[in-house]
Amino acid sequence: MGAASPSAVERIKAESRGLRGTIVESLADPVTGGIAEDDQHLLKFHGSYQQHDRDSAEARRQAKLEPAFSFMIRTRLPGGFCTPAQWLALDALATRHANGTLRLTSRQAFQLHGVLKGDLKRTIAAMNAALVDTIAACGDVNRNVLASPGPAASPAHAEAQAWAVKLSERLLPRTRAYHEIWLDGAKVAPAEEAEKILGANYLPRKFKAAIAVPPVNDVDIFAQDLGFIAIVEAGRLAGFNLTVGGGLGATHGDAKTYPRLADLVGFLTPDRMLAVAEAVVTTQRDFGDRGERKHARLKYTIADRGLDWFRAELERRLGFALEGPRPFKFTTTGDPFGWSEDAAGRWHLGLRIESGRVADVGDRRLRSGLARIAQVHRGHFRLTPNQNLVIADVEAGDRWRIDALVAGYGLDAYRRSRAIALESLACVALPTCPLAMAEAERYLPSVTAAIDALMEKHGLGGEPLLLRVSGCPNGCSRPYLAEVALVGKAPGRYNLHLGGGRDGRRLAPLYRENLDETAMLAVLDSLFAAWSAGRTPGEPFGDFLHRSGRLS
């Protein structure tokens, strides 16, 4: 990505003829494996990013070769709901056109990495043939809508999922560019595809929406631009509490940027959900900062103008006032693992997928194993916001079949893993993410082991600890909500954030800047000593740090 100025992106969108740009011409250009710079911005709206192998870029430049460009393709998959047939289709594409792995993202979507330009169209077309699209998976639009997959399906979870699909579809771009470019669809006059909600220039910045079902805050609702907290009364969905203005992205050394928790605004009944969502989106469309992309998320619009202004604008657009929020309680952001049974007698198996990477590595043959399971599984899959997977909706009589495959392919590591290794999150980062400043996914296993060893040393072995690693301050792995977060600053160096809440309602402030691993472990060593000595029974690390005043 070039250092395009924010206004440049607005210009590119405005001149894009409904997100078409010159993508078709770029795809046909044989001289480069990349696409034109303007098209790189537009391609995101179609669900793909141009990337390159950063490990080899400099050596290739010296060899007078361009970087090894490839493309990441991200699916739109509301609530992370996926059928076995879709899984198999994506698995086959990963082998045929990508790097042989699937990645489950922190937004419940799939990512394919390493797709070459010449294979991009056929890959996206094949996904659509399997009824998985990639529209608006990236770009200045509403991204994939999250919904709690639940430890076990409840009627409220099923409703949350249905609303996630409706919300996603309501906020989709209306342009037919996607169908023209990737699916050889008929050309349509731009007048017929007016963007009534998103606007001709689309949103000022990315926009994230989620639906949470308490008491599990797996979607990290307070990190979302738009959140709906399901209020379940007497076993049925009474409505939602609305949250607005969360967001974690920030820029190192720029005080105008910061992570922000969402505000709780009020309560609404389900029939008003789409209208409320539309009013929030159009308010941000009309008032969001289009001059400075680092200051363009909804959180800044609200922070700058005030929550009262926002509520008034919202209610003006809706024509009615929201009720006050109803009580709810979150207890955790984590996923449960292993089997659980729902009220209807169906079974669900939560599996840990470290960093969401579905690959065959040694005797942990996750990719092969899950493909085999997809061949026999008669229910569905749910991707979780913690990059994990639920094999959902299994009949009791089929459990043995799944169990045998899970054990045979080494998918049952969760049985033996420490708590710290079950909860962690890491973004992709190097070598493909163009934003990464340091390692994340590739660093997670070793840093987890090092921190686990320190905990063991202080008699804390096996205690839960929410660890998140991010290659840059933009926050794909939601680091600012973790108890211990490493935010990449430079190769081998991280900012250390500490003290997030285990319910996702408390941010982790910056504790030390620019540490290498040795310095970071030394800091944790002394804090773990204090935690071990001074904790109340079962007191989590983040809570202890706050109570003991170490973060003030």
Partner 1 sequence: MAASLPLPVPQAFPLDAERADQLAQLVRGLDAPGLLWISGYAAGLAAAGLAAAAPATALPAADADAPWTATIVYGSQTGNGRRIAEALGDRLLARGVRVRVARAGEYAPKELARERRLFVVMSTHGDGDPPDDARPLTDFLFGRRASPLPALEFAVLALGDSSYPKYCEIGRRLDERLAELGARRVVDRIDCDVDYESQASDWQARVDAWIEQLPAEAAAPARVAVLRPVASAPASSRERPFAAEVLANQRITWGEGVRDVRHVELSLAGSGIRYEPGDSIGIVPVNPEATVAAVLAAARLDGTDTVERDGRQRTLAEWLATGLEITLVTRPLLAKFAERGPHAGLAALLQPGREAELRALMTEVQLADLLERYPVDWDAATLAGALRPLAPRLYSIASSAREVGDEVHLAAARIDTGGGSTRPGAATHFLAGRAEGATVPVFVEPNPRFRLPADDSRDVIMIGAGTGVAPYRAFLQERIARGARGRNWLLFGARHFARDFLYQLEWQRAQKRGALARIDLAFSRDAGHKAYVQQRIVEAGAALHDWLENGATIYVCGDATRMAPDVHAALAGAIAKHGGLPLESARERLDRLGADGRYLRDVY
Candidate list 15, 17, 25, 32; residue touching partner 1; CB under 8 A: 32
CB of 100: closest distance to partner 1 in angstroms?
Answer: 14
Q: By rule CB under 8 A, what string of x and - marks binding of each residue 60-79 to partner 1?
A: xxxxxxx-x-----------
Q: Which amino acid is at 467?
A: L
Dihedral in degrees, nearest 10, Cα atoms 469, 350, 206, 429: 30
What are the structure tokens assigned to 487, written together? 């935010």
CB of 69: closest distance to partner 1 in angstroms?
Answer: 9
Catalytic residue of the set 44, 206, 357, 372: 206
CB of 115: closest distance to partner 1 in angstroms?
Answer: 12
Residue 506 falls in the annotated catalytic set: no
Residue 174: CB partners within 8 Å, gap ≥ 6? 193, 194, 195, 196, 198
Instruction: Give 70 or 333: the residue with its C-beta nearer to partner 1.
Output: 70
Residue 472 falls in the annotated catalytic set: yes
Task: Check if the beta carbon of residue 73 is closer than 8 Å to that of residue 127.
Answer: yes
Strand partners, 493: 490
- Span from 54-62, 176-184, 363-371, 435-443 in contact with partner 1 (CB under 8 A): 54-62
CA distance 118 to 109: 23
How far is C-alpha 487 from the chain's CA centre?
16
- Span from 58-66, 354-362, 454-462, 467-475 in contact with partner 1 (CB under 8 A): 58-66
Residue 290 falls in the annotated catalytic set: no
CB of 214: closest distance to partner 1 in angstroms?
Answer: 50
- Span from 57-65, 183-191, 366-374, 450-458 in contact with partner 1 (CB under 8 A): 57-65
Region of 136 (left: φ > 0; alpha: ψ -120 to 50; beta: rest) is left
CB of 93: closest distance to partner 1 in angstroms?
Answer: 14
Instruction: Give 92 or 522: the residue with its C-beta nearer to partner 1.
Output: 92
Catalytic residue of the set 138, 299, 472, 489: 472
Would you give the DSSP letter of residue 410?
T
What number of other Cβ atoms are within 10 A of residue 383's Cβ? 29
Half-sphere exposure of 230 (CA within 13 A, CB side): 32
Catalytic residue of the set 107, 117, 427, 468: 427
Residue found under tokens 């905990």: 455
87, 128, 93, 127: which is closest to 372 by C-alpha? 87
475, 466, 468, 530: which is closest to 501 by C-alpha? 466
Three-state secondary structure readout of 96-120: HHCCCCEEECCCCCEEEEEECHHHH
Q: Is 119 in the site for partner 1 (CB under 8 A)?
A: yes
353, 354, 401: which is closest to 377 by C-alpha? 401
- Span from 114-122, 341-349, 361-369, 441-449 in contact with partner 1 (CB under 8 A): 114-122
Residue 476 falls in the annotated catalytic set: yes
Q: By rule CB under 8 A, what string of x and - marks binding of each residue 262-301 to partner 1?
A: ----------------------------------------
Instruction: Give 68 or 130: the residue with its C-beta nearer to partner 1.
Output: 68
- Pairing state of beta strands 357-358 and 347-351? unpaired
CB of 117: closest distance to partner 1 in angstroms?
Answer: 9
- Span from 116-124, 144-152, 206-214, 219-227 in contact with partner 1 (CB under 8 A): 116-124
Instruction: Give 62 or 536: the residue with its C-beta nearer to partner 1.
Output: 62
Strand partners, 78: none
Candidate list 31, 186, 191, 234; residue touching partner 1; CB under 8 A: 31
List of E strands, 347-454: 347-351, 357-358, 360-361, 364-365, 380-383, 389-394, 425-426
CA distance 59 to 61: 5
Q: Is 118 in the site for partner 1 (CB under 8 A)?
A: yes
Residue 206 falls in the annotated catalytic set: yes
- Span from 1-9, 101-109, 115-123, 533-541 in contact with partner 1 (CB under 8 A): 115-123
Q: Is 125 in the site for partner 1 (CB under 8 A)?
A: no
Instruction: Give 123 or 243: the residue with its C-beta nearer to partner 1.
Output: 123
Count of residues in contact with partner 1, rule CB under 8 A: 16
Residue 489 falls in the annotated catalytic set: no
CA distance 287 to 12: 20
CB of 466: closest distance to partner 1 in angstroms?
Answer: 40
Q: Which amino acid is at 274?
A: L
Catalytic residue of the set 20, 44, 74, 478: 74
Task: Check if the beta carbon of residue 358 is closer than 8 Å to that of residue 368.
Answer: no
Catalytic residue of the set 82, 285, 476, 502: 476
Footprint (CB under 8 A) of partner 1, residues 469-508: none
Taking CA atoms, 460 is separated from 37, 252, 277, 507, 519, in Å, by 50, 32, 44, 23, 20
CB of 31: closest distance to partner 1 in angstroms?
Answer: 6
Instruction: Give 99 or 548: the residue with its C-beta nearer to partner 1.
Output: 99
Instruction: Give 63 or 191: the residue with its C-beta nearer to partner 1.
Output: 63
Residue 196 falls in the annotated catalytic set: no
Instruction: Give 62 or 518: the residue with its C-beta nearer to partner 1.
Output: 62
Candidate list 33, 356, 475, 500; residue touching partner 1; CB under 8 A: 33
Residue 505 falls in the annotated catalytic set: no
454, 468, 421: which is closest to 530 by C-alpha? 454
Catalytic residues: 74, 143, 206, 208, 427, 433, 472, 476
Q: Which parts of this chain interact with partner 1 (CB under 8 A)?
A: 30-33, 56, 60-66, 68, 116, 118-119
